[in-house]
Chains A and B, each alone.
Chain A
Amino acid sequence: MTIERADIEKLAELARVQISEDNIAATSRSLGNVLALVDQLQAVDTRDIAPMSHPLDTTQRLRADEVTEPDHRLAFQKIAPAIEDGLYLVPRVID
């Protein structure tokens, strides 16, 4: 499967990354290589095989519904780039 320029542009927008004009051809080639690998994988017949999401043959341990985490806001906000009124500040987003 070949990756068109339009695909790269759309993927870049969805992934919120900027791909410079010079890099479009190279990116399209390397993504094409990845997809070629996926094509190989997809050629295998897996109809009767249950997907394995991880290698452990066990199930999830559940915890009791108890509040165990105290307020560490001060410590966390010390390493945040911008805070005010107890909030983390990020460049304005409105959808």
Chain B
Amino acid sequence: MTAANDWEVVIGLEVHVQLATRSKIFSGASTAFGAAPNSQACAIDLAMPGTLPVANEQAFRFAVMFGLAIDAEIAETSVFERKNYFYPDLPKGYQTTQLEKPIVGPGHVDIQLPDGGHKRVRIHHAHLEEDAGKSLHEGDWQVNGRPMTGIDLNRAGTPLIEIVSEPDMRSADEAVAFARKLHSIVTSLGICDGDMSQGSMRFDVNISVHRPDTPFGTRTETKNLNSFKFMEDAIALEVERQIDILEDGGRIIQETRLYNGETRRARSMRTKEEANDYRYFPCPDLLPVVIDSQTIEAIRDSLPELPDAREQRFVEQYGLSEYDAGILGDEADMARFFEEVAKLCGDPKLAANWIMGELAARLNSTDTAIGQSPVNAGQLAGLIARIMDHSISNNMAKQVFDAMWKGEGEPDDIIEKRGLKQVSDAGALEKIVDEVIAKNPAMVQDYLGTDESKRKKKLGGFMGQIMKASKGQANPQQVNEILVRKLNDLL
């Protein structure tokens, strides 16, 4: 996509993914979210003198899983380095990370574009590192009248992989599609819980604009975006800012920017001149980590199903369209939910329609994850089963769904309690049809006098009255058959 007046947008991403290990990357402290401040920060995380890091095996396993999933080369030997900078939420004065020999080498991720096309985004590399703690500026803490910042080091030492893409994206849409794809890959692998609201995935976006067929422009980096929506907004804002400057004859300064999702504004954090010199050097406390090829192959053999393969399977196994398979197969939680409903009710297409229709609408409007859905797979399958056996109509099913969403329980109980049973008893239906025909001689004459090809349209009046007489519970298909037969008998 080209932006206004033929500017081309160039985007590269750096993505921080918190790995779902139980303990930290270099210490045995817990990584559980939401604990009391500093209750999960041990001597190693606090950089107490005399402590030494010991690397967590699972963090390496997870990094290798990611590398294999994006078809990347895995480094059998990877090395940790120290990235030195001063900040109070980094007690050691350096972040232990990888630079020269990252664990995951070049790979690629394929994304689907809004127009249905596909695009390959190259991954430059992905490396293991530790997260920093959290600085809290909002409290009114004071010491001797000086305002203070609060430091919570529970997050310090949480394992991360930082995934660095090549500048292969050309629009906010592509960047978001890429970010979503990474999200679905890491959650499908089970190496990250994917909970963006808890900072489990954070995006730094490098953006520049240029005229096509000219060298790339100067880029800026917008840091720490923690939702797809913020990312989309921040990119739009930055692209507009850069184009405005260039069209006014100005030039872009290489800088780091911060985007505020609440105010929807961004500001400069530091320019290139003020940038830290991180003085990287190999970490003397950690030896090179060697993962032999047998271990890598064993991990490859145990990889769970990935989104692309799952979507393909949904098309083949359940007869879904590629579009539907894309929606239902992309995220592991959604895919599991769909497969459970499809299996329990026996009709994948109805399951797909209900999940992508009624359920997705509710989840979206209430910003609820499928894992937190108030209607579980068993309940939805139970509801679909009642539609399939004609116990209830589609309209009734929507009422039942609504009640289930509000927590009123199992579909059969709701149907029973609300008296929603569809009347399919032929005798009862024939009686209602007879009564309506008897009460409406004028409509009957009109029907009989109408040309055969147009008679169908005249059924609506009868159907309305029959449904009313049955309090909406008559099985419409069955009523239709009985009605047509009885009217035709009068011809």
Interface residues of A (CB under 8 A from B): 14, 16, 51, 53-54, 56, 58-69, 71-73, 76-77, 82, 84-95
CA distance A64 to B22 in the complex (A): 10
Residues from chain A with a CB closer than 8 A to the CB of B153 are: 88
Within 8 Å by CB of A59, from B43, B276, B289, lies: B289
CA distance A72 to B154 in the complex (A): 12
Minimal Cβ-Cβ distance residue in A for B135: A93
Minimal Cβ-Cβ distance residue in B for A93: B149
B56 touching A62, Cβ below 8 Å: yes
Residues from chain A with a CB closer than 8 A to the CB of B37 are: 85-87
A45 to chain B, nearest CB (A): 20
Given contacts A60-B288, A61-B54, A94-B137, contact A68 B23 (CB under 8 A): yes
Is B143 part of the binding interface, using a Cβ–Cβ cutoff of 8 Å?
Answer: yes
Within 8 Å by CB of B139, from A53, A58, A59, A85, lies: A85
Within 8 Å by CB of B276, from A14, A53, A65, A87, lies: A14
Residues from chain A with a CB closer than 8 A to the CB of B54 are: 61-63
B86 touching A89, Cβ below 8 Å: no
Within 8 Å by CB of A14, from B77, B146, B277, B283, lies: B277
A39 to chain B, nearest CB (A): 18
Residues from chain B with a CB closer than 8 A to the CB of A51 are: 282
Is B196 part of the binding interface, using a Cβ–Cβ cutoff of 8 Å?
Answer: no
A68 touching B28, Cβ below 8 Å: yes
A91 touching B146, Cβ below 8 Å: yes
Beyond A62-B57, A89-B143, A90-B148, 9 additional pairs, beta carbon < 8 A: A51-B282, A53-B282, A65-B21, A65-B59, A73-B38, A84-B139, A86-B152, A94-B137, A95-B87
Residues from chain A with a CB closer than 8 A to the CB of B28 are: 63, 66-69
CA distance A50 to B27 in the complex (A): 30
CA distance A85 to B143 in the complex (A): 14
Within 8 Å by CB of A60, from B30, B58, B287, lies: B287
A46 to chain B, nearest CB (A): 15
B435 to chain A, nearest CB (A): 72
Residues from chain B with a CB closer than 8 A to the CB of A94 are: 137, 149
Is B103 part of the binding interface, using a Cβ–Cβ cutoff of 8 Å?
Answer: no
From DSSP, what is the main secondary structure of chain B's interface residues? loop
Most buried by B among A14, A58, A69, A71: A69
Residues from chain A with a CB closer than 8 A to the CB of B146 are: 91-92
A-B contact pairs, 7 of them (CB 8 A): A53-B79, A54-B287, A69-B27, A73-B41, A76-B38, A89-B141, A93-B137
Minimal Cβ-Cβ distance residue in B for A75: B43
Is B150 part of the binding interface, using a Cβ–Cβ cutoff of 8 Å?
Answer: yes
A63 touching B269, Cβ below 8 Å: no
Give the interface size bracket for B toward A.
35 or more
Is B88 part of the binding interface, using a Cβ–Cβ cutoff of 8 Å?
Answer: yes
From DSSP, what is the main secondary structure of chain A's interface residues? loop
Within 8 Å by CB of B143, from A54, A63, A82, lies: A82
CA distance A93 to B149 in the complex (A): 6
B261 to chain A, nearest CB (A): 17
Residues from chain A with a CB closer than 8 A to the CB of B40 are: 69, 71
B148 touching A60, Cβ below 8 Å: no
B152 touching A54, Cβ below 8 Å: no
B150 touching A16, Cβ below 8 Å: no
Is B136 part of the binding interface, using a Cβ–Cβ cutoff of 8 Å?
Answer: yes
A69 touching B29, Cβ below 8 Å: yes
A87 touching B38, Cβ below 8 Å: yes
A58 touching B38, Cβ below 8 Å: no
Within 8 Å by CB of B284, from A53, A84, A95, lies: A53
CA distance A71 to B64 in the complex (A): 31
Residues from chain A with a CB closer than 8 A to the CB of B60 are: 62
Is B396 part of the binding interface, using a Cβ–Cβ cutoff of 8 Å?
Answer: no
CA distance A72 to B41 in the complex (A): 8
Within 8 Å by CB of A66, from B22, B87, B135, B141, lies: B22
Within 8 Å by CB of A65, from B22, B88, B151, B289, lies: B22
Is B290 part of the binding interface, using a Cβ–Cβ cutoff of 8 Å?
Answer: yes
B36 touching A86, Cβ below 8 Å: yes
Is B397 part of the binding interface, using a Cβ–Cβ cutoff of 8 Å?
Answer: no
Residues from chain A with a CB closer than 8 A to the CB of B269 are: 95
B86 touching A16, Cβ below 8 Å: yes
Within 8 Å by CB of B55, from A60, A72, A77, lies: A60
Minimal Cβ-Cβ distance residue in A for B134: A87
CA distance A14 to B243 in the complex (A): 33
CA distance A61 to B269 in the complex (A): 39
CA distance A59 to B58 in the complex (A): 17
CA distance A29 to B38 in the complex (A): 44
The B262-294 residues at the A interface (CB cut-off 8 A) are 269-270, 276-277, 281-284, 286-290
Residues from chain B with a CB closer than 8 A to the CB of A59 are: 77, 287-290
A62 touching B21, Cβ below 8 Å: no
B131 to chain A, nearest CB (A): 16
CA distance A54 to B208 in the complex (A): 41
B102 to chain A, nearest CB (A): 15
